[in-house]
Structure 1
């Protein structure tokens, strides 16, 4: 998967630009920042956004160059989805819920992949590959090459996540934080670039379906631990995120009673 991603970004520019768009409504597109229309600073990257589930609904619209792109990326998406489902079931059980609880709350579910290319940068201190953010989906399965760049915010400082060959990095997303009533945290992270090497990173995002109703699991709400978040649909949350760039949107869905607030 890493090889075919690099081959795609090594295609002639005129070939890649056939897929370029800053239209957020276009679900298969090549772009740079999350939302070029409202961001003050563009990210130092290119990415190809691909919807992945149901795969048969989208794969015929994916790029067909390099020649094996659809076969390799399609097989990878199916495997990544299987891993995400297993992890979500384990998270559900760890909260004392039925293993299928979170999966059922996600509705028909969705999956999206962003093949990201971070070129070497002559002045890396002046930009980000991606600015600080949390993933607004349920869970992210992240595949990296051997070049570092990902950092997480922990104990008041940024910590480098060193790449380990043949492993995935798993990010808990905003929706798991909400459904767990704050017991799981959606980790803040960013991507930095360097002046020597380019980098390939492939996150696969697993999300609810648009009509899915998300909120804290009733079993996790008690007198001592009241609901931190109100219920909302995924379509409502997704709209807020796209309208605010990568800024964290969880605070918009806190229960109004301030005595219920937790450090999120």
Structure 2
């Protein structure tokens, strides 16, 4: 009699990841995921959303202490996306914070609301732990060593935004953010209870409605390169409405500026030639920033077949 296959009821008590024989083909997997059982407490999630709303409800004079149009600043309040290059503004204000290593940036952050630094620092640390677990799982799903992606990033970068989309009198005439892919590696998005996120699927914009205490996991451009197109970055946008303000809090996980990004050698063979050339993340991000939020993916400029 053949040995019985181990039941999942017993298996799940002794593993902390999905065994390789259970992992479905990459072509069957979405590039935007929703995660509910992520281990981040509901109280922490409600606190970070509360802090964001309180910040944007502060008197203008208090908020403007953090204002800057300089994109090189590691803590700044601004509006739209890139005021220096864009022709059409977006219906969005945002507070951008670099947050890893925390000790390098914490002193720059707002001190009002009073618990801002403490609550945001705790949230950033928890989200980083979630990202590192996800990167291990993605590496294994590609048949790579568990630490492969993490090691390719150099000194990891992490920053976040608190996006504020106020009610708009004519929402059909503007965007919160136009269609774009994220230039970084992976994005962990937290939304409040107001819809606004849309993703492009089969040529149609589909709403991704909020689910309480759930994160949206968005594959970015650098993951598409490292996976040699096995994973694809997601074209998405934010729309606004005339009745309700909306808060979203994306955390962007990035390579260091000097990290060299390219397809993993193990994912290149005769049937799967390298789609992209090697480049530094700084080179990529500069082109992305100068182009603005364009629907055409910046990755096309880094394809192996593209002229230098």
User: TM-score category by the smaller chain?
Assistant: over 0.9
Aligned pair in 2 of structure 1 residues 257, 116: CA closer, same or farther (>3 Å)? closer
- Structure 1 residue 199 and structure 2 residue 232: aligned? no
The equivalent of 1:251 in structure 2 is 300
- Structure 1 residue 164 and structure 2 residue 211: aligned? yes
- Structure 1 residue 109 and structure 2 residue 162: aligned? no
SS at match of 2:293: coil
- Structure 1 residue 45 and structure 2 residue 45: aligned? no
Within the candidate set 106, 127, 133, 1:86 is matched to 133
- Structure 1 residue 20 and structure 2 residue 50: aligned? no
SS at match of 1:52: strand
The equivalent of 2:165 in structure 1 is 118
Per-residue deviation, 1:23: 1.3
Q: TM-score, normalised by structure 2?
A: 0.83
The equivalent of 1:224 in structure 2 is 271
**Cα distance per residue 1:125-155 (max 9 Å; x no partner):** 0100000000110000001000000000001
Per-residue deviation, 1:257: 7.0
Per-residue deviation, 1:121: 0.3
On the 8 A contact 2:300/2:306 being kept in 1, the answer is no
The residue correspondences of 1:147-162 to structure 2 (distance < 5 A) are: 147-162=194-209
Q: Distance in 2 between matches of 1:100 and 1:156?
A: 35
Root-mean-square deviation (CA, aligned residues, Å) is 1.0
- Structure 1 residue 212 and structure 2 residue 270: aligned? no
Structure 1 gap ranges (5+): 259-264
Within the candidate set 33, 36, 39, 2:83 is matched to 36
Task: Tell me how many residue pairs correspond in the alignment.
Answer: 258
SS at match of 2:100: coil
Q: Distance in 2 between matches of 1:38 and 1:134?
A: 18
SS at match of 1:92: helix
The equivalent of 2:121 in structure 1 is 74
**Cα distance per residue 1:155-206 (max 9 Å; x no partner):** 1100000100010001000000000000100000000000010000000000
Q: Distance in 2 between matches of 1:22 and 1:130?
A: 17
Structure 2 gap ranges (5+): 1-47
Q: TM-score, normalised by structure 1?
A: 0.96
Runs of 4+ in structure 1 deviating by more than 2 angstroms, as ranges, are none
